[in-house]
C-alpha cells in the first residue's frame, strides 16, 4: 500500500504541474512527427555526409536482390490464384522496402509475430520456395498441415510465430513474448508487425499498454500503407497517423520513410539496440504504399484511382530507389539489367517448378482434421470422425463432383 501511495502522489504531482483556471483553454496543437529518411525518391542521399559502410552495402545489395525475388514470386502466385490453383494470396508490391529492410535490421533469432504480408522475412531467413509452394497448395508437406490459409505460415526453425487472419491478435502475443525475453534476460527481441488498420483494434492498445507498462523487449512495426483494405488512413483515425498512439504510451518511436530500405534498415537496427540496452519496447511507423490489391479477394479500383497507384509505383518505388543508390556506390554489376533479368527468370522458373511439384503431392487425409486437438482423441471426437467418414462414403458420388477426393491421403492404404 505504501508503494501504491507513493505512485499515486507522484502521478498527481506530474499531472498538476501545469495549471489553468479557464475552461476556454485549448490544448496546444501537437507538431507532426518528422520522417526519418536517407535517400530521396531517386536514390540520392539527402545529405553529403550520408554514407554506407562496406558491410551495410553488402547487406543492402542482398536486400535489393531479395526485393526482386519476392516481387517475382508474388507475381507468379498471384496469377496462380487467378487460375484457380490456390485459394488465396496476398502480394507485397510497393512494401518490400519496409518488409525486407526490417528483416535486414533484425537478428534471425528475433521472434516474428507478423500479420500476413511479411512472407519475405521468412525467405530472408532461409525459408525455401519449396516450403512456400507446399504451404500455398496445402499438401502433406505443408508444416501447418493444410489447416491454415495460404501464406499463413508458422515455422519455429526461423523464429516465425503462427500467422492469424484477424487483425492485431498477434500484437499482445508479441508483447507477452517480449516480456518473457526480459524476464529470462535473453538478448533477443519480439517483433510485432501490423498494418495501419490494426490500430483500430482493441488488441493494438492492449499490446502497447502491456509492453510499455511491463517494459517488454518488443518492437512494434506498423506498415502504414495508406489503406486498411478499402479504408484510407484519413477515415480510420485523426491526429498524427499511428505513431502518436505509441507516443501516448511513452514509447520510443520513429517514423521512417518505408520506401527507403536503407533508412528502414538503420531505424530497425537502432531500435533493436535500444530495446536490448534499455529493456523497453519501441515503435516504428513505416510510411509506405500498397501498390497491389489488399488480397486476391479485393479490387482496389473501387476505392482509388489507377493514376494514384501509378504515381507511387513510378515516382516512389523502393526497388528503384535502392537500385540507384547501390549503382551510385558502385556495388551493383555493370551489366545490371541483364543480371536482374536472369535473376527474375531463374526465380520465376523455380517457383513455377515448385508449384507443379507441390500440386502432384497428396493432400492431408480428411480425418487428420481431428488430430492434434488433444493428446488422446476423446470418445466424442472419435464418434464425430466415424460419422464424417461414413457420410462421405455414403455420398461419395456427389462429393466427387466438387472435390478431388483421390488427392487426399488414404491412411489405410
Q: Residues 6 or more apart from 17 whose CB is under 8 A from it?
A: none
Give the three-class secondary structure for 220: strand
Residue ranges of the chain assigned to CATH 3.40.50.970: 54-360
Q: In Å, what is the CA distance from 294 to each residue of 75, 95, 102, 109?
A: 14, 12, 21, 29
Give the C-alpha separation, 69 to 123, whole Å: 9
Give the C-alpha separation, 244 to 247, whole Å: 5
CB 240 within 8 A of CB 30: yes
Q: What is the domain class of 54-360 according to CATH?
A: alpha beta
β-strand 252-257 against 218-224: which pairing, if any? unpaired
Instruction: Find the angle CA(164)-CA(290)-CA(212) to the nearest 5 degrees.
Output: 55
3-state helix vs strand vs coil in the chain, percent to 5: 50, 10, 40
Q: What is the pLDDT along the chain (413 residues), one digit of tens a residue?
A: 455 566 555 555 555 566 767 777 666 656 799 999 999 999 999 999 999 999 999 999 999 999 999 999 999 999 999 999 999 999 999 999 999 999 999 999 999 999 999 999 999 999 999 999 999 999 999 999 999 999 999 999 999 999 999 999 999 999 999 999 999 999 999 999 999 999 999 999 999 999 999 999 999 999 999 999 999 999 998 889 999 999 999 999 999 999 999 999 999 999 999 999 999 999 999 999 999 999 999 999 999 999 999 999 999 999 999 999 999 999 998 789 999 999 999 999 999 999 999 999 999 999 999 999 899 999 999 999 999 999 999 999 999 998 889 999 987 54
According to the model, what pLDDT value does residue 24 have? Answer: 72
Place of cell 537496427: 269
Structure letter (DSSP) for residue 365: P
Give the C-alpha separation, 212 to 209, whole Å: 5
C-alpha cell at 8: 499515486
According to the model, what pLDDT value does residue 413 have? Answer: 47
How many residues are given for the chain? 413
Q: In Å, what is the CA distance from 31 to each residue of 18, 273, 315, 361?
A: 19, 27, 27, 57
Give the C-alpha separation, 252 to 169, whole Å: 22
CA atoms 193, 288, 314, 328: torsion sign = negative
Give the global pTM: 0.92
Q: How many contiguous H segments (helices) and E segments (strands) does the chain have? A: 15, 7
Per the DSSP assignment, residues forming a β-bridge with 254 are 284
Instruction: Find the angle CA(313)-CA(288)-CA(166) to the nearest 5 degrees.
Output: 115
According to the model, what pLDDT value does residue 8 have? Answer: 54
According to the model, what pLDDT value does residue 410 have? Answer: 86
Q: In Å, what is the CA distance from 236 to each residue of 8, 195, 249, 312, 402?
A: 34, 12, 20, 21, 40
Amino acid at each position: 500500500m505504501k508503494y501504491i501511495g507513493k505512485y499515486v502522489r507522484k502521478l498527481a504531482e506530474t499531472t498538476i504541474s501545469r495549471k489553468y483556471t479557464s475552461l476556454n483553454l485549448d490544448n496546444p496543437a501537437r507538431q507532426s512527427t518528422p520522417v526519418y529518411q536517407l535517400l530521396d525518391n531517386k536514390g540520392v542521399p539527402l545529405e553529403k555526409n550520408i554514407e554506407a559502410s562496406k558491410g551495410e552495402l553488402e547487406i543492402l545489395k542482398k536486400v535489393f536482390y531479395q526485393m526482386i525475388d519476392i516481387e517475382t514470386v508474388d507475381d507468379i502466385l498471384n496469377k496462380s490464384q487467378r487460375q484457380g490453383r490456390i485459394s488465396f494470396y496476398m502480394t507485397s508490391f510497393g512494401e518490400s522496402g519496409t518488409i525486407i529492410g526490417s528483416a535486414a535490421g533484425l537478428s534471425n533469432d528475433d521472434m516474428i509475430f507478423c500479420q500476413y504480408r511479411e512472407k519475405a522475412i521468412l525467405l530472408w531467413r532461409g525459408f525455401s520456395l519449396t516450403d512456400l509452394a507446399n504451404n500455398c497448395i496445402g499438401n502433406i508437406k505443408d508444416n501447418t498441415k493444410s489447416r491454415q490459409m495460404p501464406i499463413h505460415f508458422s515455422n519455429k526453425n526461423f523464429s516465425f510465430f503462427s500467422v492469424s487472419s484477424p487483425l492485431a491478435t498477434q500484437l499482445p502475443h508479441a508483447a507477452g513474448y517480449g516480456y518473457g525475453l526480459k524476464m529470462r534476460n535473453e538478448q533477443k527481441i519480439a517483433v510485432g508487425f501490423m498494418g495501419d488498420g490494426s490500430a483500430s483494434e482493441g488488441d493494438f492498445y492492449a499490446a502497447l499498454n502491456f509492453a510499455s507498462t511491463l517494459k517488454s523487449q518488443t518492437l512494434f512495426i506498423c506498415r502504414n500503407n495508406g489503406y486498411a483494405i478499402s479504408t484510407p488512413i484519413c477515415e480510420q483515425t485523426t491526429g498524427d497517423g499511428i505513431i502518436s498512439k505509441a507516443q501516448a504510451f511513452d514509447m520510443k518511436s520513429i517514423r521512417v520513410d518505408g520506401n527507403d530500405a536503407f533508412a528502414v534498415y538503420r531505424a530497425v537496427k537502432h531500435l533493436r539496440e535500444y530495446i536490448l540496452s534499455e529493456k523497453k519496447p519501441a515503435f516504428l511507423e513505416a510510411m509506405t504504399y500498397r501498390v497491389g490489391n489488399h488480397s486476391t479477394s479485393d479490387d482496389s479500383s473501387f476505392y482509388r484511382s489507377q493514376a494514384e497507384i501509378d504515381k507511387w509505383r513510378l515516382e516512389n518505388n523502393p526497388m528503384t530507389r535502392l537500385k540507384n543508390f547501390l549503382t551510385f556506390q558502385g556495388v551493383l554489376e555493370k551489366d545490371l539489367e541483364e543480371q536482374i533479368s536472369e535473376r527474375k527468370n531463374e526465380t520465376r522458373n523455380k517457383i513455377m517448378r515448385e508449384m507443379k511439384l507441390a500440386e502432384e503431392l497428396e493432400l492431408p487425409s480428411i480425418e487428420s482434421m481431428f488430430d492434434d486437438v488433444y493428446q488422446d482423441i476423446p470418445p466424442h471426437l472419435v464418434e464425430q470422425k466415424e460419422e464424417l467418414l461414413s457420410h462421405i462414403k455414403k455420398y461419395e458420388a456427389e462429393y466427387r463432383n466438387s472435390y478431388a477426393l483421390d488427392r487426399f491421403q488414404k491412411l489405410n492404404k
